[in-house]
């Protein structure tokens, strides 16, 4: 009996093949993410068309699409979306900056953490709508109060994420830096920053989500433009299709902004040796 040796070996995939596979996987994940909303939309459209429901209070996708087209043709949709995006972008910028700086100081300095963290945690429990009357008194009903409210919403998750990420850095990594006699700046740059960065990205995404939530509270009171104003206008005029269209617009622009953060941060997280499915 003779044994035939196995000579065929699997060749490692080339960079181009890996890129193609990664692209296919990205499109597959995108398709899976759209599957559930499409099933719900098609199912509700069928229920309304078959007269099992009137669709008056919860309009079917065809009516929502028609509302989108009407608002877009009139230029209303673009104007409201751009105004809301501008408010969120400015508030997000200030909220992330303040949250990152405060969280880094609190995480690095135990004295500072003991001084400010209890007060910050107490303020974090205050609902978003509770800030509105105070900010209106301080900044008026114009853009200042709205942007400040959004910045407050973004600040808390970023602060908490940065502080907790610094506190959770492995002590052995810091000890290695001390063995190699790294300066405090080099330790922060070469050890703390890579260890904190994955948690920082998550904190930023959470802050962005709260920023979109807080902009609704800001625009529901004293706004004449924005998707929040479109919501309240639809409520006052009895237009449920306009309300749902504004909600869908919030979901779309919110998802796109979160997706952009993921794409921008991906090159800085390639070093992570984690399971990706």
pLDDT tens for residues 240-254?
889 999 999 999 999
pLDDT attached to residue 10: 45
Domain contains 10: no
User: Tens of pLDDT along 116-136?
Assistant: 999 999 988 888 778 888 888
What is the mean pLDDT for each group of 10 consecutive residues in the chain (277 residues)?
46 55 64 81 88 83 89 90 93 94 88 91 85 82 86 93 86 76 75 81 92 86 82 87 90 91 82 60
pLDDT attached to residue 81: 92
Using DSSP's 3-state secondary structure scheme, residue 239 falls into coil
Q: Count of residues for the chain? A: 277
Q: How far apart are CA 217 and CA 202, in angstroms?
A: 23
Q: Which of 149, 102, 112 is nearest to 127 (CA)?
A: 149
Q: How far apart are CA 110 and CA 216, in angstroms?
A: 36
pLDDT attached to residue 90: 94
Torsion of CA 102, 105, 111, 116, to 10 degrees: 0
Domain contains 241: yes
- For tokens 């919860």, the residue is 58
Domain contains 5: no
**CA 21 distance to own-chain centroid:** 27
User: Tens of pLDDT along 183-215?
Assistant: 777 777 777 777 788 888 999 999 999 999 888
pLDDT attached to residue 175: 77
- For tokens 């639809």, the residue is 234
DSSP state of 192: I
pLDDT attached to residue 7: 46
**CA 257 distance to own-chain centroid:** 7
pLDDT attached to residue 9: 46
Domain contains 200: yes
Domain contains 275: no
pLDDT attached to residue 99: 93
pLDDT attached to residue 228: 87
> How many domains are contained in the chain?
1
Domain contains 190: yes
What is the domain extent for residue 99?
A: 57-269
pLDDT attached to residue 166: 85
Domain contains 146: yes
Domain contains 209: yes
pLDDT attached to residue 95: 94
CATH number of the CATH domain containing 226:
1.10.3720.10
Could you tell me what percent of the chain has a pLDDT over 90? 27
pLDDT attached to residue 79: 92
């Amino acid at each position: 009996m003779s044994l035939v040796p196995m000579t065929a070996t699997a060749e490692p995939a080339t960079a181009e093949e890996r890129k193609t596979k990664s692209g296919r996987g990205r499109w597959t994940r995108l398709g899976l993410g759209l599957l559930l909303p499409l099933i719900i939309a098609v199912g509700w459209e069928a229920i309304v068309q078959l007269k099992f429901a009137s669709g008056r209070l919860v309009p079917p996708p065809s009516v929502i699409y028609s509302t989108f087209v009407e608002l877009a043709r009139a230029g209303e949709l673009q104007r409201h979306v751009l105004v809301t995006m501008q408010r969120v972008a400015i508030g997000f910028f200030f909220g992330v900056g303040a949250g990152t700086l405060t969280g880094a100081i609190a995480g690095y300095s135990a004295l500072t953490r003991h001084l400010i963290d209890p007060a910050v945690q107490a303020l974090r429990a205050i609902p978003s709508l509770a800030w509105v009357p105070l900010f209106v008194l301080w900044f008026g009903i114009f853009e200042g109060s709205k942007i400040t409210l959004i910045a407050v919403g973004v600040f808390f998750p970023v602060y908490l994420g940065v502080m907790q990420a610094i506190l959770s850095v492995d002590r052995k990594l810091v000890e290695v830096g001390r063995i190699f006699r790294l300066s405090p700046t080099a330790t922060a740059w070469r050890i703390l920053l890579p260890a904190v960065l994955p948690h920082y990205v998550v904190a930023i995404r959470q802050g962005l989500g709260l920023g979109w939530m807080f902009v609704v509270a800001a625009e529901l009171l004293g706004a004449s433009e924005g998707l929040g104003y479109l919501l309240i206008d639809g409520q006052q005029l009895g237009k449920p299709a306009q309300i749902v269209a504004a909600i869908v617009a919030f979901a779309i622009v919110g998802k796109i902004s979160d997706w952009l953060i993921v794409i921008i941060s991906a090159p800085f997280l390639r070093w992570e040796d984690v399971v990706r499915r």
